[in-house]
Amino acid sequence: MISRDRDAAGRARNDRPRDRLGRPLPPGSAGVARIPDDLELPPQQTLTFAQQLLDDGLAFNAHEVLEAAWKNRPVAERMLWQGLAQYAVGITHIQRGNAKGAATLLRRASERLTAYPANAQHHDVDVTGVVAHAQRLLAALDAQTSITDEQLRTSLRRTSA
């Protein structure tokens, strides 16, 4: 049986350093800063942090920030945060060259975000814009066209008019 790092509750953890795309590196390697497992931020700080990570090309880390919100926010909001986390993982898979994984996660994110109730708390998330961006990425993946870093750029929040 393979021995894995575990936290105090016995949940599996991987404390190995990771590269900028979230892939584990050999022990002792220099990797990018990790997102703490116990991260708990208010919604606006979560979105600001995740957006900065996305802007820096660190979609995997943005996913970890959004996943923490998914796990820590009220049940009524979890579909929103889970959809955003899946969206960030979809972008991560594009960065890693995994078209199939990207398409799967972008579809899940689109479905989850589209199903999120219009009258629910959105925290200024541009749900329509995120879904539209996911759909553009899916179209490019389906057409097997290359996706540039610029095409991965996204905004999680609605812009003020």
Q: What is the CATH number of the domain that holds 138?
A: 1.10.3450.10
Higher pLDDT, 139 or 11: 139
Residue 143 resides in a domain: yes
Residue 146 resides in a domain: yes
Q: 57: left (phi > 0), else alpha (psi -120 to 50), else beta?
A: left
Residue 33 resides in a domain: no
Residue 3 resides in a domain: no
Instruction: Yes or no: say if 141 and 147 are a contact pair by the CB < 8 Å rule.
Output: yes
Residue 110 resides in a domain: yes
SS3 11: coil
Range of the domain at 77: 41-152
Q: For the segment 128-153, what is each residue's pLDDT rounded down to a tens digit?
A: 999 999 999 999 999 999 999 999 99
Alpha helices in 16-77 (DSSP H): 43-55, 59-72
Residue 137 resides in a domain: yes
Residue 19 resides in a domain: no
Rounded to two decimals, the pTM is: 0.87
Residue 2 resides in a domain: no
Q: For the segment 78-137, what is each residue's pLDDT rounded down to a tens digit?
A: 999 999 999 999 999 999 999 999 999 999 999 999 999 988 889 999 999 999 999 999
Q: Is the pLDDT of residue 72 over 60?
A: yes
Number of domains into which the chain is organized: 1
